[in-house]
A and B are shown apart, each in its own frame.
Chain A
Amino acid sequence: AQSVTQLDSQVPVFEEAPVELRCNYSSSVSVYLFWYVQYPNQGLQLLLKYLSGSTLVKGINGFEAEFNKSQTSFHLRKPSVHISDTAEYFCAVMKASGTYKYIFGTGTRLKVLA
């Protein structure tokens, strides 16, 4: 079975500072990895995904993530955050066998301070 751990439930950061949101996963099989963002009162929006190939994945809104197989991590980074990045961020995995089932982490609330 797969599992996802997001150790940081909340991350406060000042505007224009860099941020890293951590995600670790466990799986005995190959997985796809995802980061979703949820703005207040909105659905989840895909930020980026890793399916295969380059381990550094670039997504929307200036976010990127690096897949590290040896450390089973998929940390999300942004070099300079904006107030508008304040949201809940979810890491998720899916078995790379074509199944549709996501396993989500518990989420990290990013709060960008002025």
Chain B
Amino acid sequence: SAVISQKPSRDICQRGTSLTIQCQVDSQVTMMFWYRQQPGQSLTLIATANQGSEATYESGFVIDKFPISRPNLTFSTLTVSNMSPEDSSIYLCSVELGLADSYNEQFFGPGTRLTVL
């Protein structure tokens, strides 16, 4: 398994500002993912961050709004830029680990609860 930590755990921000969320994992992983969980909705994949390459964004998400860094195999950051109240969500990172049954399980961090005023 993997132990994942995120900082901050929660924050309240003013509109127009930016917040950088950190994700740290206790083992080296190739694939890291960032999800958004809006109030009352399911988790939505924002982007995939592989070490050594540009992040791959899902439809509806762009790099200018959600820049991602992946400097090494245990760490990633997601920035929520020029925030608006619609960005109020829980942001989760996850990592993929290959397991014995050939299925690559994903493990999730505790999430960062963001409120934008």
Q: Do A and B bind each other?
A: yes
Q: How large is the interface on B (under 10, 10 to 19, 20 to 34, 35 or more residues)?
A: 20 to 34
Q: B48 and A100: CB pair below 8 A? A: yes
Which residues 31-46 of A have a CB within 8 angstroms of B?
Answer: 32, 36, 41-46
Q: Say whether A107 contacts B105, CB under 8 Å.
A: no
B53 at the interface (CB under 8 A from A): no
From known contacts A49-B103, A51-B101, infer whether A43 and B48 are also in contact, taking CB-CB under 8 Å: no
Q: Please pick, from A4, A44, A49, A98, the residue contacting B108 in the complex, using a CB distance under 8 A.
A: A44
Scoring B48, B106, B109, B110 by chain A CB atoms within 10 A of each residue's CB, the highest score goes to B106
Residue from B94, B103, B108 within 8 A of A32 (CB atoms) = B103
Q: A67 contacts the other chain (Cβ, under 8 Å)?
A: no
Q: Which of A41, A45, A46, A101 contacts B45 (CB 8 A)?
A: A101
Q: Which residue of A lies closest to B10 (CB)?
A: A41
Given A43-B111, A44-B92, A100-B33, A106–B41 Cβ distance below 8 Å? yes
Q: A44-B43, A100-B104, A101-B45 are in contact. List 7 more A-B contacts (CB 8 A).
A: A41-B110, A41-B111, A42-B111, A43-B107, A49-B105, A100-B33, A106-B41
- Interfacial residues, chain B to chain A (CB-CB below 8 A): 4, 9, 31, 33, 40-45, 48, 92, 94, 96, 101, 103-111
